[in-house]
Structure formats: C-alpha cells, structure tokens
Structure 1
C-alpha cells in the first residue's frame, strides 16, 4: 500500500470526505458535496484524487497509516506477550475512537462490489495488521503462555466488534451507565471498556489456572 503525498488542501478534502461519508454514506455523497463543504473548486478535487473511489482509497491510507505503524512497532518492544496484547487493544480502541468516521465507513460501507479497489486497499491493511498480531501470539505460544488452539484471525474482530456494539448503542449505554457527557463517555471507553476487552482477550489466550 503506497503512501500519499499530502498538502493542506488535500488534507482538508480528506477530512471533509470522511465526515460526509460517515454522515451520508459513500453512495449518498458526491464530489460536488465534498468540494462545496471543503470550499474547494470541484475541478481541484477531481485533479487531486481523480474519482470518489480513489478519494476513498486515499482516505483509508491517510487515516490508517498511523495504526499500521503502531502495530508493526509493537512487535519489537521489550514487553511480555500478554503486555503486548494489552497494548494492542489500547492502540486499536484509541485509534478507532479517535477516527470513528473512517472506521464506520470501512466496516459498514465497504461491502459493495462496486468498491472492490478500496476493499483491496483495506484488505491489504488488515492482512498486515494480522501478520503483526500473529507474530505476537506465536511468541506467547512458543513461551507456553498462550493456548495453542487460539483462532488468531478472530482476535481483531472480537476487539473491534465489542467496541462497535458499544458505540452503535451509545444512547443505551449512556443511560444505563450514567455517562451523560461526552467526556464521561470517552473516559469510559478509554478505561473501563478497554479493560473489559483486554480481560476478554486474555481469557481467550491464556491457559486456565
């Protein structure tokens, strides 16, 4: 997956596109909508990105490059395997929560066969992140810490699925957990929800005493 060269105008277009794709869906957003919201000439948007599909591909790379780098770097940190897994959970939840718009697009908009190129970009990213996760899990298995029967590809959807269920039911959880401000809600995700997911993943990975 190649990097993209960015300037201030490109970044502005990408940020606006993320918001509109998240709010209105990919199909419901036009290049004209994006150019109007970004206050940039429609011809300039087309010049920079060529098409809405290519814009989405650039947005995926722009918003997920940091996540990819953090996960790759985690493999080389001087930590025990379980500590690496706990940190991995923190990285995922923090990045998803800070970039809800693009992850909503990625997980709920990229099922269409019309967007196979963008799906391929996202698939490449997921494969790279899975390879990093496999390295961490296999290290724990070789040390006798993690179970041998772990289904490694299901670890990430367990992390993200729990987060998305929580977030997609935000009003419900705000009410029953008394999270009546955005700050309380985000603090709960950062601390309590993250810890719950870490405990869940640990239960899947570690042998019972």
Structure 2
C-alpha cells in the first residue's frame, strides 16, 4: 500500500512537471512570436509584414500564430495592448505615490518620453498605421485602450488644480501638447537634429535627445502650471 502511494505521488509530480514545462514553452513561443513581429512591423510596416514572415522569424508555424492571435491584426493588437497596459500600470503606480502633483506629472512625462523614444521605430509605424482610415476597427480598439491612460494623467492634473498646486488650465489641451511633442520628436526627429550630427538611431544620441526633450517639457510644465501670485 505504501509503495503504491509513493508511486502515485511520483506519477503526479512527473505530470505536474511536464505540464509546467509545456506551459512555459507556450509562453516562450508566444513571446518569441511577438518579439519577431515587433521587429518586422518596425522594419517593414504593417502592410509589408506577412504572417508567414512572422512565423519564419520567430521559429513558429502558421497554425501556432493563428491559435494564439487569430491573424496578423491580432498579433499587432497584442503588441499594442501590452505596451499600453504596461504604461497604464506605471501610471497607476505613479498616481498612487505620495508625491506632489508636479512630481507625479514630471515622472509621467519622463517615463513616457523614455518609453516612446526608446521604441521610436515602432511608435512611428504604429502612428502611421493607425492614422490610415482603412483599418477603422483596429483604430477604435487602440483609441479606447489609450483613453484609459489619458484619464489617469487627466486626474493627476485635475487634482493639482483642485488643491491649488496648479493654476487652472485646459487639461486636455495640455495633455495633447505634452504627448504630441513627445510623439513628434519620435516621428520627425530631424526637426531638432538638423544642422547637427545627432542620429536618433544611435543609442548615445537618442539618450541625449531624450534628456533634452524631458528637460524642455519639465521647464514647460513648471512655468505653465505654477500658480501666479498676484502682487
């Protein structure tokens, strides 16, 4: 009886071990597909990338891509969703920190600028694809997901206005100014690199551009939001 019990325990441990390895293999394979797709989307664009290329680049097969994502659009949406959700988690953490409104907002801007410029190629591709009217359903899904991030930023600014640490401003126009500036630098870096040897594709130069961008936006926020004391 004792031997039988030990035998069953051993079998169960073996089954659990195999199941765990299979789960990890699936997670790794899914991650490989997403990494390969992101590289291809960045280099070739959405239209220029096929599921066959993604399969070849990731070492997966077509049926595996269809199983996990359903289509090329599904792969693209997963990449987008992951990035947006990651940023949402970062925003939520910042909003819950015991910091002043200005400190929170500056952390948000710093995090967003680094995130976008570090992946400027992908951001440029996504901006181009989502601006096309031929994929309205995909655009709507992404827009709705991004809206949740904007709400968190809007609340940080609104709270600052209500507690008197920020002067009253048009909150959404301010957000558009901040996010638009970061996006514009990522999409058209030549606007600030012309006449210099700076290249956003060079990691060291990209770091310099990012530092300049963050410093500029911090100055802008400080001057624009700080209440004016009436004399």
Report TM bin, short chain.
0.7 to 0.9
Q: Which runs of 4+ in 1 moved over 6 A?
A: none
Output the TM-score relative to the length of structure 1. Answer: 0.84
Conservation of the 8 A alpha-carbon contact between 1:137 and 1:146: yes
Conservation of the 8 A alpha-carbon contact between 2:84 and 2:146: no
Paired with 1:26 and 1:190, the residues of 2 have a C-alpha distance of 26
Superposition map of 1:47-86 within 5 A: 47-86=67-106
Where relative contact order (Cα < 8 A, 6+ residues apart) is larger, the structure is 1
Conservation of the 8 A alpha-carbon contact between 1:71 and 1:129: yes
Secondary structure of the 1:79 match is coil
* Aligned residue number for residue 164 of structure 1: 183
Superposition map of 1:1-20 within 5 A: 7-20=27-40
Deviates more, 1:117-126 or 1:69-78: 117-126
Instruction: Please say which structure displays the higher CA radius of gyration.
Output: 2
* RMSD of aligned Cα (Å): 2.5
Structure 2: gaps spanning 5 or more residues: 1-23
Question: How far does the alpha carbon of each residue in 1:90-147 deviate from its partner, in whole angstroms, 9 at most, with x for none?
Answer: 1111111233344223322112344333323321222111111121111111122222
Superposition map of 1:1-209 within 5 A: 7-148=27-168, 150-170=169-189, 173-174=192-193, 176-179=195-198, 182-208=202-228
Paired with 2:136 and 2:188, the residues of 1 have a C-alpha distance of 29
Paired with 2:33 and 2:153, the residues of 1 have a C-alpha distance of 32
Output the TM-score relative to the length of structure 2. Answer: 0.77
Paired with 2:179 and 2:39, the residues of 1 have a C-alpha distance of 20
Question: How far does the alpha carbon of each residue in 1:9-53 deviate from its partner, in whole angstroms, 9 at most, with x for none?
Answer: 111111121222222221222111211222321222122211111
Count of equivalent residues: 204
